[in-house]
Amino acid sequence: MRESQCLRLATLIRLRWLSVVGQTAACVFVAWILVWPFPVFLCLALIGLSAGLNLYLAGRFPGSFRLSATASFAVLSFDVLQPTGLLMLTGGIHNPFIVFLVVPAVIASATQPPLTVVAISGLAVAATSVLVAVHYPLPWPIPNGFTLPAEYVGGLWFALATTLVFAVVYIYRLAAESRALADALSATELVLQREQHLSALDGLAAAAAHELGTPLSTIALIAKEMKRSVLEDDPLFEDVILLVEQSERCRSILGRLASLSACSESQLANLSFLALLDEVAEPHRHFSVDVTVEIIEREGPEPVARRNAAVLYGIGNIVENAVDFARSAVVIRAGWNTGSVWIEVLDDGPGFPPAVLDRIGDPYISRRDTRDQRTAGGLGLGLFIAMTLLQRSGADVRIENRATSGAVAQIAWKRSSYVAGGPEE
């Protein structure tokens, strides 16, 4: 059970206090203001039971305590049975407040795993069914009350049951998609954070080179002085030579670190379009699949944009996906003109099954929809992250099957958006 599906006890306690206040106000109003006959003290006893449970839970557990699925089922079951008892004493299904039996099922559908949702929903429907036949008369000023036609009562029960089922299914689907989206975006943030940490290593390298440069120069100077003062037949001569060589090697390494940082600041901060294509293709060129880059259109100067970890990851993920499912070849076609910059990634694999094609880009595609074909090994999270990152950079992303075999991913930016590094305002 995910952390996001664990109900906070404090939330349920606040909701139940609101219910206690509303139930008490309704009983007091009907019993002592309207003066309609019903077993008011039994109703107040049930309300007191709910208040007592609240006081016990508030004193027994901290407000931040999160309930397990079993504990949530027990608490929500009480929230179904307690109003069921009140309704049984005040008219059953004839009481308009019968609609409040939907509330615990709705809470469960928004926060709980499927088994708990089904159990609470079934309990609510069962309680509604019992209230059709077992209940005290509805409080009413007329001594003998009134009787609703059986057909109307049956229709009311059916309307309540179908409304409950529809609301539960609808809210459960929305909540599940929301949780999947939140999980996927969290994964995206972790990926970008990793890339930012890697970029920060350039600054650390520069700092290390600067701080170590002075003591290393002192060591090198002393080593050279020792070399002049030690004769060749001295047993320490070879050690001194080694010390000089290693100090020179350290100086060379620090020089490369410093030049790497300088290069990162001036050159690697910007990335040409062709360099970007080469960077995303290079990691996949040493496998059994042939990866080639073809430049189809060259109109105007080559576009150059700031290095963007999100764009590199997004395109790289799409290329990796194509390589994973290609039979023998992946072709990266690209081009630019005065108005746009575009990339196509084509593979000769099996393509996407029809059931998945319309849902590409959704996180957590069900394995049942893949039919053991493309994406059967995953849940669609990688493509979702890639498409989200690219769309945030201003790109239009389309993925579809080719006319022959395989799939094609089309990525296109407005040139001004690509160069600026984000969507146009």
Query: With the C-alpha atoms ordered 139, 140, 144, 150, is the resulting torsion angle positive or negative?
Result: negative
pLDDT reported for residue 340: 94
Number of C-beta neighbours around residue 371 at 10 A: 12
User: Contact, 422 vs 335, CB < 8 A?
Assistant: no
Q: What Rg value do the Cα atoms of the chain yield, rounded?
A: 35
How far is it, in rounded angstroms, from Cα 127 to Cα 161? 10
User: Contact, 46 vs 85, CB < 8 A?
Assistant: yes
Q: 345: part of which helix (H) or strand (E)?
A: strand 340-347
| Mean pLDDT score, 279-285 | 88
228 pLDDT exceeds 90? no
318 pLDDT exceeds 90? yes
Using alpha carbons, select from 5, 1, 11, 3 the residue that is nearest to residue 63. 11
Beta bridge partners of 290: 329
pLDDT reported for residue 2: 55
**Confidence class for position 32, pLDDT limits 50, 70, 90:** very high
Regarding the domain delimited by 272-420, which CATH topology (the fold level of the hierarchy) does it fall under?
Answer: Heat Shock Protein 90 (3.30.565)
208 pLDDT exceeds 80? no
Residue partners of 318: CB distance under 8 A and separation at least 6:
345, 383, 386, 399, 409, 411
**Confidence class for position 384, pLDDT limits 50, 70, 90:** confident
How far is it, in rounded angstroms, from Cα 107 to Cα 116? 11
pLDDT digits over 41-83, tens only?
A: 999 999 999 999 999 999 998 877 888 889 999 999 999 999 9
User: Contact, 280 vs 389, CB < 8 A?
Assistant: no
CA distances from 145 to 89, 91, 142 (A): 14, 10, 5
